């Protein structure tokens, strides 16, 4: 049995090394599937890639260069999530601990195109959902709250990326938090309007996450999107409307879609809005007779 284990370990190491070679992802996945079929029901952590992957990810992440190296290893590891050779929960839990340390780094504010910022903005929400392979809770409520709190308290992330990540991690981990969890409150409608006013289209992702997470009233929605609706170029609006549903299963209000769908028109060209009826939404403008067409 020891000889078989040694032989399988050798195969695993070759599989892991193949991700750094000139092999396509499909070739690697096919090889992983073949290995999984060979091992069958005997697949355990010791006969999988998880220990090898976690060992490869041990180097600290504290600057752009180390972030790029770590991110590359993580992408290689994600190739094996579908085959079961890498445990998505174990990988996510480990990556969340790395992410918490990275978020607590000191130093100057990062630039929008810094690799360290790109790594955090991409990986932080993913590790809260086991990179899309979650079948249950990834972290405990305390661990999830600590991760989101670290995002809130991060001092080196610039805007609007900081606000966008604060909102996106809440969407990713929100179903693992209870109402008693103590976290900083969401930005208000005025704050989101000011964010878009300051950063323009770069704040589109943050605004989209805020709409999906906060589910604002019609009045707050109008306030938050006022600057976006005044824009003559509707660049951020496809971003706002194409965001997938949040992890909690809730979707943005349909009235948000109707309102933001007119983003290519100037504010003064929009239909007149009356004050809100008792339902909390916007009163629908009367439709003219005849068939309506989309512009």
User: Is 5 inside a domain boundary?
Assistant: no
Gap between the Cα atoms of 232 and 124, Å rounded: 33
15, part of any domain? no
> Are 151 and 228 in the same domain?
no
Question: Which of 31-35, 67-71, 104-108, 273-277 shows the lowest mean pLDDT across its residues?
Answer: 273-277
Grade residue 282 by pLDDT with cuts at 50, 70 and 90: very low
Which pair of structure tokens corresponds to residue 190? 């005025």
**216 and 239 fall within a common domain:** yes
Percent of the chain at pLDDT above 90?
Answer: 33
Residues 83 and 122 in one domain: yes
Beta-carbon contacts of residue 46 (< 8 Å; ≥ 6 apart) = 5
The reported pLDDT for the residue numbered 35 is: 65
Q: Is residue 128 part of a domain?
A: yes
How many Å from the N-terminal Cα to the C-terminal Cα in the chain?
A: 69
Pair (164, 204) in one structural domain: no
Predicted confidence (pLDDT) per residue in 163-215, tens digit: 999 999 998 887 777 765 678 888 999 999 999 999 988 998 999 999 998 88
- Count of structural domains, the chain: 2
Instruction: Indicate the residue among 155, 180, 205 that finishes a domain.
Output: 180
Please state whether the predicted TM-score (pTM) of the whole model is above 0.85: no
CA–CA distance, 50 with 131 (Å, rounded to integer): 15
Tokens of 229: 């609706």
Could you say which of 131, 157, 180 is where a domain stops? 180
- In tens, the pLDDT along 110-153 reads 998 999 999 999 999 998 988 887 666 788 888 888 899 999 99
Domain co-membership, 153 together with 223: no
Q: Is the domain of 117 the same as that of 190?
A: no
C-alpha 1/C-alpha 183 separation (Å) is 51
Q: Are residues 171 and 200 in the same domain?
A: no
Measure Cα distances from 160 to 167, 197, 202, 241 in Å: 11, 11, 7, 18
Shared domain for 148 and 232, answered yes or no, is no
Per the CB < 8 A criterion, the answer to whether 209 and 178 are in contact is no
Tokens 């769908």 belong to 261
Return the pLDDT at 124: 93
Q: What is the mean pLDDT of residues 244-266?
A: 43
Tell me the average pLDDT across 280-285.
Answer: 40
Domain presence at residue 38: no
Determine the 3-state secondary structure of 58 from DSSP: coil
Q: Is the dihedral of CA 20, 23, 29, 30 positive or negative?
A: negative
Q: What is the dihedral of CA 138, 94, 145, 177, to 10 degrees?
A: 0
Q: What's residue 226's pLDDT?
A: 84
Residues 239/259/125/44 CA torsion (nearest 10 deg): -90
Q: What's the half-sphere exposure (Cβ side, CA atoms, 13 Å) at 129?
A: 18
Q: Is the peptide bond before 285 cis (omega within 30 degrees of 0)?
A: no
Q: Based on the domain organization, do 194 and 163 belong to the same domain?
A: no
Q: Is residue 243 in some structural domain?
A: yes
Q: Percentage of residues in the chain with pLDDT exceeding 70? A: 63
> Do residues 114 and 64 touch, judged by C-beta distance below 8 A?
yes
Please indicate, yes or no, if residue 240 is contained in any of the structural domains: yes
Query: What distance in Å separates the CA atoms of residue 179 and residue 248, rounded to the nearest whole number?
Result: 14
Tokens describing residue 123: 């990986």
**Given pLDDT bands bounded at 50, 70 and 90, which one contains residue 278?**
very low
Asked if 90 and 38 count as a contact pair (C-beta separation under 8 A), the reply is: no
148 shares a domain with 221: no
Structure confidence at residue 252 (pLDDT): 42
Region 51-67: what's the mean pLDDT? 91
146 and 210 both lie in a single domain: no
Measured in whole angstroms, the distance separating CA 251 from the mean position of its chain's CA atoms is 16
Domain membership of residue 192 as a residue range: 186-267
Q: Do 109 and 218 fall within a single domain?
A: no
Written as one string, the DSSP assignment of 80-106 is: TTTTTSS-HHHHHHHHHHHHHHHHT--
Residue where one domain finishes, among candidates 156, 180, 204: 180
């Amino acid at each position: 049995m020891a000889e078989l284990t040694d032989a399988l370990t050798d195969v695993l190491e070759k599989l892991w090394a193949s991700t750094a070679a000139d092999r396509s992802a499909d070739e690697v996945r096919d090889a992983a599937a073949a290995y999984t079929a060979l091992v069958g029901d005997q697949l355990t952590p010791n006969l999988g890639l998880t220990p090898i992957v976690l060992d490869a990810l041990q180097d600290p992440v504290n600057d752009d260069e180390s972030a790029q190296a770590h991110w590359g290893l993580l992408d290689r590891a994600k190739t094996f999530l579908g085959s079961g050779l890498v445990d998505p929960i174990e990988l996510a839990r480990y990556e969340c601990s790395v992410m918490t340390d990275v978020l607590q780094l000191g130093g100057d504010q990062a630039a929008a195109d810094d690799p360290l910022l790109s790594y955090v903005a991409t990986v932080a929400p993913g590790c809260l959902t086991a990179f899309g392979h979650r079948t249950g809770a990834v972290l405990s409520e305390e661990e999830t709250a600590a991760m989101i709190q670290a995002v809130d308290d991060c001092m080196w992330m610039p805007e609007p990326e900081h606000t966008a990540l604060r909102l996106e991690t809440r969407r990713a981990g929100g179903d693992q938090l209870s109402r008693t969890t103590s976290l900083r409150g969401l930005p208000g409608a005025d704050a989101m309007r000011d964010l878009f006013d300051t950063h323009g289209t770069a704040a589109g992702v943050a605004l989209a996450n805020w709409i999906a997470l906060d589910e604002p009233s019609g009045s707050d929605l109008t306030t938050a999107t006022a600057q976006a609706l005044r824009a003559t170029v509707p660049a951020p609006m496809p971003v706002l409307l194409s965001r997938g549903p949040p992890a909690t299963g809730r979707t943005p209000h349909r009235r948000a879609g109707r309102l933001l769908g007119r983003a290519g028109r100037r504010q003064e060209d929009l239909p007149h809005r009356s004050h809100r009826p008792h339902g909390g939404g916007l009163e629908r403008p009367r439709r003219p007779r005849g068939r309506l067409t989309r512009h």
